[in-house]
Structure 1
């Protein structure tokens, strides 16, 4: 035991006045009566019970001395130390990932149990111990740092919510190492159901994993035929027993089909659903089973129903380019050999200029330019006739082997809003960028002056350019793992952008433009993107799902009880004890006894 305010022991001097008060108090009063005959029997009883009478006579003094002593002890802040809890700093890390929603006992999940255990540590910490509270999810963060205030710590703890994200143990360990770098004595407690390996002797892991059965839906996808779609669902049994359950498939929240599924222990199984309406936008698979973790029993998928895109090609015949563009059945290609007036350049999703440029570029579509002439829009530099090509890794060359020759190329001065992706003798010849919601791709060479069209990768390169400039899938990034950032694709004419979250909350994310990646994706479900322009509202979707690879299978602790794991060893959870509340309770009981004795004597 240790007292953290020993100066308060000086208050024990206050016992002297209490004792003196009883010593100097007048013991009896003289009263004249007519006869003392009736008192003889009473006097005999008093003599027979003299020891008890003396005790009764002084019991109030004893109770007051005990009460006063307890109050002094409370002021001195008594604390029982157990194990190695006697440190100046505590760092408490609470895992808020999806798997912490798993059942721990009858009434609580692992996250709720962990919060109760952390609150006990806060309640029983030394008065001078500083506590740092960290939440561990996809992006670990410090909730409150180096605080001695128990009320504030418990208030911040109560505000931490469990998420659907994955934990990031590596980043969390890096964070606590940085925080503890200048600490002289400290302990770090991780409350998680994951296996954390570290050589730091100050790091203890409270393993909350449970060996209960669990089913997860790991994948949901679709394939398209001429008339209908087919959905594929992959489920995994994370247990040592066979699992049987009903697996339902929904389309735009309406039931499509239900199948009875049986999955062998520790195996995965693929289930197919056929003849799905092609007009459905969102698929949802749901397993009807009472298992350890509910959140991984549901998975969402966006079915892209691409609309036709109008593309205007302006320039001389370019058979190679035209063929590569029209491979995609969702593109409607229009051609013009004449240099159109600026007023006629409107109404298309993409404008391709091959060797020509208008005085001003269209404002309602994206722009693809090959072999630009000298103009007032882009500054064209000298023409190189020989040199080496160098590629900066970019999505336009996804699955493309950059191995082609150029007879001659124009280099282009890079505007601040564009990025070079191919250089010719360290000077940019292909650039891309985005300005006022318009996407640009600029190539400083004539395709006829290269052998690129003769390469097998040429159609892939052109389709990559189409995907970038047309956003053929509407919202290109339609599926993410919970907590990840998502890039929102918008049209050039969009004025405002809103995100509707799975719980129905609507958030405005633009203007301003350009958009930054959207990060508030912690909820599992369907997110609706609303783009508002002068013509109306365009809706697109993306979905957020649980990372079942990390969250559905748990690392089971060898001990059935909650244990601390450090350097491969297990030991029982140790915690100090603050005696203040216990002593105050005893003081209240003494005060109640004193009141009863006083009223009985009077």
Structure 2
């Protein structure tokens, strides 16, 4: 039994008031006296009104107290939890996160039981829909990378079952807290509502679900395989190990199981087996595995063999980084500090004075392009006019660019307070004093993020414009004391490393459903995503078109939703060369960390016990084992209590009419 409004207890003050009234009630005794004693009436009245008389048991008193008590109970809005029989609004949350694609063990499967946790959830959910009452309204929420309302207040069972059958796993970062918050909002101030969650209970600790508060009953239907476990490739990369030593591969593998796991790691290069290692990992531990002297390949694939419940993290891909030091083109009239700092990074620096014409282009005054395409272009000072047109413009458009200062209006910061923001370029730096007193007055573009602020003005920003790295410092080196500081070589080294990021045969790694920047050209009119290798190919993923904007391929694409190696084929206008980008798509790494049964961190559900067996907690605290919550609905006791109070009042009236002798 539960109470919906404790404010009704205030009416309970009527109970002592009734008792006090009986204590002060006039008391008369039936006595036969001679007529000459009538003068004694005044004395008897005074004696009859004496306070705090002995309280006597009277039927009228008990009936009045019972009636008042029943009215108090009715005002408190009492209710009881009853099994089933729901007629109100039920919000169903169907978990489709990546861990739901885990394959059930052979003991958990039979000819009628599907192979994955998601398949089993869909089957159970459809069976539960068949058992719902005809008048029950159901809102179906899909818990994926974002909360999705599939159906709202639907009564048609066939429509609900059809929506359930069309669900598929979402391998991006699951929106656990957002989905619970939406369900809480949909059921708020609705005493007849309830929430049901269908999940494998494998929710990351940082999901924030413990901060969501419900004021309606919640039932968790846990679909789990007690023997499920996972071993995952956490990291994998390759690099050139010297000019003659070949390629070095390094991988980190973690065993999320409780027992020891022995597995085989096979490394392929462009489809050919290059190396294989046996590794034994203790439960809950990680192991680092190295592969040395590998043959050169465009794409490397590391595969984890053996029985494993969760397949999306059993493969990882790496792209060969371009060998050798960076080739940097420095456009500067002369800056010894900057040139030496660039050389200290191991880069080959070619300096070109933009003020001196080489005369190699028919005396036009426009210098010729360098013989070898630079990996990075650094412009010290104002941008030369010749880089805004022709072949130079195209070169700068597709090459990582670092600029210092430039032309335009300048502003002086209102204070010298310097803030260094977190970024790979500012790693290991702590600039506490302003390096300059004047900054170019520019706004940070949409593709950039601030690296350094002086006062409230940005002093440097970085980002990728159409997939190409850009680094901008809004002050000239000659106007700064930064080259004289010990942090300057560190800053230059960080900048060169960051500008070189992604200079490989592939674009890199991205989470499923996340946004990524691609260096597409302005005349690329068509693009197609094609699964190349890995889980996506095994899952039967098909081709689909790339996103377009204003008739051309957008430089900001949403990555495919299924993990694996994907190829983006981009076609330009008629006669243009077709280009290809390789992207490794991964599932959310947090979904890999599961090991069989565990508690689901669902928030506090109600201020009272919503169901038998659940622990009462303070609002907003984290709930205990949610599987103990039983599906129940409220049955109000207000009307029975009020009706009973009415019968007692009628009985009291009958007693009152019969007189005080009772």
Aligned partner of residue 289 in structure 2, secondary structure: strand
Q: Does structure 2 retain, via aligned residues, the 8 Å contact 1:89–1:185?
A: yes
| Aligned Cα root-mean-square deviation (Å) | 4.0
Distance 1:259 1:339, change over 3 A: same
Q: Which residue is equivalent to 2:410?
A: 381
**How does 1:175-574 map onto structure 2 within 5 Å?**
175-194=182-201, 200=214, 202-219=217-234, 220-226=236-242, 227-277=245-295, 279-305=296-322, 311-328=328-345, 333-336=350-353, 338-340=355-357, 343-344=366-367, 351-359=377-385, 361=388, 362-364=392-394, 365-366=396-397, 367-373=401-407, 379-381=408-410, 387-391=416-420, 396-403=425-432, 405-406=434-435, 408-414=437-443, 422-430=452-460, 441-466=471-496, 473-474=503-504, 478-483=508-513, 485-490=514-519, 495=524, 498=527, 500-502=529-531, 503=541, 505-512=543-550, 515=554, 517-530=556-569, 536-556=577-597, 567=623, 568=625, 570-571=627-628
- C-alpha offsets along residues 89-136 of structure 1, whole Å, 9 cap, x if unaligned? 111111112222223421422211111111122222222211111121
Deviation at 1:185? 1.4
Q: Does structure 2 retain, via aligned residues, the 8 Å contact 1:386–1:407?
A: no
Deviation at 1:180? 1.7
Aligned partner of residue 153 in structure 1, secondary structure: helix
1:132 to 115, 132, 139: 139
C-alpha distance in structure 1 between counterparts of 2:464 and 2:285, whole Å: 46
Distance 1:517 1:173, change over 3 A: farther
Deviation at 1:204? 1.5
Q: Does structure 2 retain, via aligned residues, the 8 Å contact 1:488–1:517?
A: yes
Deviation at 1:467? 5.6
Deviation at 1:556? 0.7
Distance 1:258 1:443, change over 3 A: closer
Distance 1:162 1:342, change over 3 A: farther
Deviation at 1:434? 6.9
C-alpha distance in structure 2 between counterparts of 1:510 and 1:223, whole Å: 34
Q: Residue 148 in 1 paired to residue 155 in 2?
A: yes
Q: Does structure 2 retain, via aligned residues, the 8 Å contact 1:233–1:270?
A: yes
Aligned partner of residue 292 in structure 1, secondary structure: coil
C-alpha distance in structure 2 between counterparts of 1:293 and 1:253, whole Å: 23
**How does 1:112-131 map onto structure 2 within 5 Å?**
112-131=119-138
Deviation at 1:298? 2.5
Distance 1:447 1:475, change over 3 A: farther
In structure 1, the gaps of 5 or more residues are: 1-80, 374-378, 559-563, 577-602
2:177 to 170, 174, 182: 170
Q: Which residue is equivalent to 1:106?
A: 109
Deviation at 1:551? 3.0
Distance 1:434 1:217, change over 3 A: closer
Deviation at 1:86? 1.2
Deviation at 1:525? 0.7
Distance 1:189 1:306, change over 3 A: farther
Deviation at 1:401? 2.4
Q: Which residue is equivalent to 1:59?
A: none
Deviation at 1:310? 5.5
C-alpha distance in structure 2 between counterparts of 1:272 and 1:553, whole Å: 26
Aligned partner of residue 518 in structure 1, secondary structure: strand
Distance 1:97 1:331, change over 3 A: farther
C-alpha distance in structure 2 between counterparts of 1:188 and 1:385, whole Å: 54
Q: Does structure 1 retain, via aligned residues, the 8 Å contact 2:198–2:220?
A: yes
Q: Which residue is equivalent to 1:579?
A: none
Distance 1:290 1:388, change over 3 A: closer
Aligned residues: 486
Q: Does structure 2 retain, via aligned residues, the 8 Å contact 1:311–1:351?
A: yes
- C-alpha offsets along residues 241-280 of structure 1, whole Å, 9 cap, x if unaligned? 4333333222222222223333334433332222112x32
- C-alpha offsets along residues 511-570 of structure 1, whole Å, 9 cap, x if unaligned? 558956433432111123445568734434331223454334145169xxxxx9965364
- C-alpha offsets along residues 4-52 of structure 1, whole Å, 9 cap, x if unaligned? xxxxxxxxxxxxxxxxxxxxxxxxxxxxxxxxxxxxxxxxxxxxxxxxx
Q: Which residue is equivalent to 2:90?
A: 90
Q: Does structure 2 retain, via aligned residues, the 8 Å contact 1:386–1:408?
A: no
Q: Which residue is equivalent to 2:16?
A: none
C-alpha distance in structure 2 between counterparts of 1:406 and 1:233, whole Å: 41
Q: Does structure 2 retain, via aligned residues, the 8 Å contact 1:89–1:187?
A: yes
Deviation at 1:432? 5.6
Aligned partner of residue 324 in structure 1, secondary structure: helix
Deviation at 1:395? 5.3
Taking structure 1 as the reference length, the TM-score comes to 0.69
- C-alpha offsets along residues 401-452 of structure 1, whole Å, 9 cap, x if unaligned? 2345545534334486686654555445545677777765443433234232
Taking structure 2 as the reference length, the TM-score comes to 0.63
